[in-house]
Structure formats: C-alpha cells, structure tokens
Structure 1
Amino acid sequence: MIAAFRSLATYVAVSLYVAIAGPPFILIALAFGAKKLLYRVGHGGVRLAMILSGLNSRIEGAEHIQRERAAVYAVNHTSNVEPPLLFDALKSLFPRLRILYKAELRKLPVLVRAFDLAGFVPLERANRGQSLPAIEAAAAALRDGNSFLIFPEGTRSRSGELLPFKKGGFIMALRGQAPIVPVAITGARHAMRKGSPWVEPVTVTIRFGQPVETAGLSVDDRDALMATVRDRITGMLKDSAS
C-alpha cells in the first residue's frame, strides 16, 4: 500500500514537472542550442522520481565509464526503472549521451521533442527500411564523439534471465568503431516488475564492466562481438548473485 501511494505521488509530481518545465526549456534549447540545460532538466525529473519513490542505485566499476571517448553501454533489461537509473548513472557524459530507443515511445509528445533535441535515435526493429538508416545515424553520432545507451534484448525479461540479443546496437558500435561497455543491473526487477505500475523502494546495483574493443573489427564480426558482450554481462550477473 505504501509503495502504491509513493508511486502515485511520483507519477503526479513527475507529470507536473514535465508539463511545467518541459515546454519552456525545450524552447530555450531550440533558441540557444542549450542542449546541456535540457539534459539537466531531464536529470532533475529522474532525481525527483527517485527521491519520491524511494528508489536508490549503487554504482560499481565506475572507472569503466568512458569519459574521454565515445562508447556504447549495453545493459540487461528487466524493468522500466532501468533507463532513468542509467541516465542518472551516466550523467558525467552529458550532453554527449544518446539513447537508442524503441520507436513506440514517439507517441509521447513532450518527451519525443526532447528526445529529438538531445539526438536520441528511435529504432523500429520490425521495419528494416527504418532501422538501417537509424543505425547509420547512430554510428555517425558515435564517430562524432557521442556515447549511446542500448538494451540489446529489445524488451524486458520477466525471469531476469538474459533474452536473445538483437544485432542493431552491435552493428552500430562496429560502424562507429566504438568500444562496448557491458553493464549488469541487479535488483531492478524487484523495484518494478513487468506489468506492475508500482515502484518499490529498493536499491538497484549498476555494475560497469571492462570495455570490449571494436577497433579493427568489421560488421562481419557482429555475431562474435555480440557473444562476447553477452558472456561478459552473464558473468557479471552471476558474480552479483553470488
């Protein structure tokens, strides 16, 4: 009951925050190119949600965050709380952090405008005609020094076990010649289970692993690269569980 009340309060407060702060800061970002300000406003919404819901994160392996070069952060996916928690954990990369996200989220009017201004890239996996140009656009952004956050499973896992990986993010990393940092999240599934609207006040652990280099590799190496990153995340999840 307490979690339900806190969750409702969080939804109301964050909705008001987005409705009030979103439009004027989007206009400021458009007028003055103040992209970093837009990131800070978004991060403020994330922090507000974390405080009100009682959700906390513990960061391990922060030394593997690539602050001096572009990288792709590949994360396991079990809960809706993971994207905002990663956004918070990677705040040191603002405003050069991008997200490769599902195109369905473009139905949210205020968010989609902010996403476009921030350079986030929508991916419609079922539409090859859209997905290939999107991957190329993301690879170009990588080459320009921007990092990306991806969830290679493409959807949330109900069991917590890793689902099969999609290839798009790995092709993007190879075309952009950017390293992939494996990231293992534990505890998020207990914070917000798939199908539930309530957020439980728990601490989620975010563990960054050593980057997997892609320099000198080609798109033909995508399956081997995907297997390597998957093995790294699997091992990190097992270490966290032991």
Structure 2
Amino acid sequence: MLQVFLWCSVISIILYLTSNTFRYYAKYGVYLLVLTIISTITVLWILFTCRPKSSENFRFAIWSLHKLKYLYGWEFETHGKEYLMNDKPLVVLVNHQSGLDLLGLMELWDWRYHCTAVGKRSLMYMGVFGLACYLCDGVFLDRHDHAKAVQQMNAVVDQIHSKKLKVFVFPEGTRNRNGSMLAFKKGAFHIAVQSQVPIVPVVFSSYKSIYSKEKKIFKSGKITITCLPPVSTAGRTKDDIPELMNSIRNSMVETYNRTSSSVGKTE
C-alpha cells in the first residue's frame, strides 16, 4: 500500500512539473477544496453562534481566501480602494472573468462594513458553498422568473440604506473569458437608481497571461484592480438607466484595456 502511494506521489510530481493540463487541474482542484473547507467551517460557526443572515459571518472566509493568493503567487495591485472604505451604502460593479475573482474581491471586501454579493439563484444549490453564502446574507436572483427577480431586487433596495449595504454585483451576469466585457444587465442599475446610492465601478485587469481555462494556464503573476470614482444616481430615474449603463460600461472597458495592455490589446 505504501509503495503504491509513493509511486502515485512520484507520478503526480512528474506530471505537475511537466504537464500544463495536470498542473491547471491540480491547482483549481485545490481551490475548490479550500472553498469547500472554508464554507464548511463558516456554516458550522454560524450554527454554533446562532447568527444567520449576517454579513459579519464572512469574516473567516475573507481572512482565509486573502491568504490563498500567496499559495498561487498572485499579486494584486489595487487603486482607488478608498472609495469603498466607508460606511456608506454603495452598488459595486465588478467585471467577471473566473470563479477565481473571489481572490480579488477579498482585496476589497472589509468585514467592518456591511457587504453582500448578488449572484444567480443556482449558486444557492452548490452544496455547502451555496449554504454558506445564503447564511452570510448573500442575495440570489432568479433570472428565469422576472417577477421574482424584481421582488428580490426590491428587497435589496429596502435594506440598502437601513443596513448601509455595499452590494457587489457582476453586471455581465456570467463569466467572460474572451477579453473585454460582455453587455451589462440592468439589475444592478435598477437597485442603484431605486436606492439613489452611488455606483462604484471596479475593474480587474485581464487574467490571460496567468490564467486560462481554454489553454490550461494557471501560474503566478500580477493583477491590477482599479476602483473608479463613485457615479452619483441622485435624481436619476429608470429612464436614465440605459445611458448610465452605457457610460459606466465604456469607462470600465477603457480601464480594462489600459490596465491589461501588457497582455495584448482587447476590444
């Protein structure tokens, strides 16, 4: 038995050193394993303290995921973080490239403030990870039921001022691995306009040089995170949403292109 274990270990080390594909799946597998462990500990802690639906429950997850970047050799250079370091309600828009975006979000997420994230409803059924997000006051929108999605967004609007929430949203609605950004969905803008709270656009530079699912690349490197100045929604109505959405997306695409120039020009 020991001999089999040693042979498997030697083969795994050789494959890790020589195969990009094996190395990619090994690293991503570790990421999923760590997420599961963190989620399990978070759920157990919430049950022990009897404090469900509190954003403060994210504290352990924030600390743990923040350390994970050192394992992968990912360095984050963050600009404009001061726009988020206050107790004011905000809607924070972030471009979405991978499930690994969580590592970058931990650079911005501060347990001292009430932060939550909006995700698709299917995430709630992703085992212990979905349960942990739900118990930490995550928001899940049902994109296949418009009436229910509107009801869920209205619930966020009702709480955003009373809890001074910072609501993190991926406005593209899904991961974009092809560079630049997909068209934005209106949900986050409806929340911001109805709440009359500022929007802070946040741009992660391209992962292409250090991470690619298609090319099976997963290596160390630097990512630039740029928090743009808050965009006021005071006095705006739902009729202003298309222009607001277009303007913010243009500024985020420009920032993405500028900060990602080292890995080639995009859109």
SS at match of 1:89: coil
Does the aligned pair in 2 maintain the 1:143–1:177 contact within 8 Å? no
Give how far 1:14 is off. Answer: 4.0
Alignment of 1:12 with 2:30, yes or no, is no
| 2:133 alignment partner in structure 1 | 115
Give how far 1:113 is off. Answer: 2.7
| 1:156 alignment partner in structure 2 | 175
For 2:150, which of 132, 144, 151 is the aligned residue?
132
Q: State how far apart, in whole Å, the 1-side matches of 2:184 and 2:35 are.
A: 32
For 2:42, which of 6, 14, 22 is the aligned residue?
22
| 2:115 alignment partner in structure 1 | 97
Structure 2, unaligned runs of 5 or more: 1-15, 18-22, 262-267
Task: Flag the 1:241–1:12 CA change in 2: closer, same or farther, 3 A.
Answer: closer
| 2:77 alignment partner in structure 1 | 58
Q: What TM-score does the superposition give when structure 1 sets the normalisation length?
A: 0.87
Residue identity matched to 1:108: M
- The count of corresponding residues between Structure 1 and Structure 2 is 239
Q: State how far apart, in whole Å, the 1-side matches of 2:130 and 2:33 are.
A: 19
Task: Flag the 1:219–1:194 CA change in 2: closer, same or farther, 3 A.
Answer: farther
Aligned ranges 1:211-226 → 2 under 5 Å: 211-226=230-245
Q: What TM-score does the superposition give when structure 2 sets the normalisation length?
A: 0.79
Q: State how far apart, in whole Å, the 1-side matches of 2:172 and 2:67 are.
A: 28
Task: Flag the 1:12–1:196 CA change in 2: closer, same or farther, 3 A.
Answer: farther
Q: State how far apart, in whole Å, the 1-side matches of 2:215 and 2:32 are.
A: 14
> Which is greater in Rg?
2
Give how far 1:150 is off. Answer: 0.7
Return 126-135 or 193-202, whichever deviates more.
Answer: 193-202
SS at match of 2:110: helix
Residue identity matched to 1:100: V
Structure 1, unaligned runs of 5 or more: none
Give how far 1:33 is off. Answer: 6.2
Q: State how far apart, in whole Å, the 1-side matches of 2:72 and 2:64 are.
A: 12
Give how far 1:165 is off. Answer: 0.7
Superimposed CA distance per residue, residues 170-213 of structure 1 (whole angstroms, 9 cap, x where no aligned partner): 00111111111111111334443356787432221110001110
| 2:5 alignment partner in structure 1 | none
Does the aligned pair in 2 maintain the 1:97–1:148 contact within 8 Å? yes
Higher RCO structure, 1 or 2 (CA under 8 Å, sep 6+)? 1
Query: CA RMSD of the aligned region, Å?
Result: 2.4
Q: State how far apart, in whole Å, the 1-side matches of 2:117 and 2:196 are.
A: 17
Task: Flag the 1:175–1:37 CA change in 2: closer, same or farther, 3 A.
Answer: closer
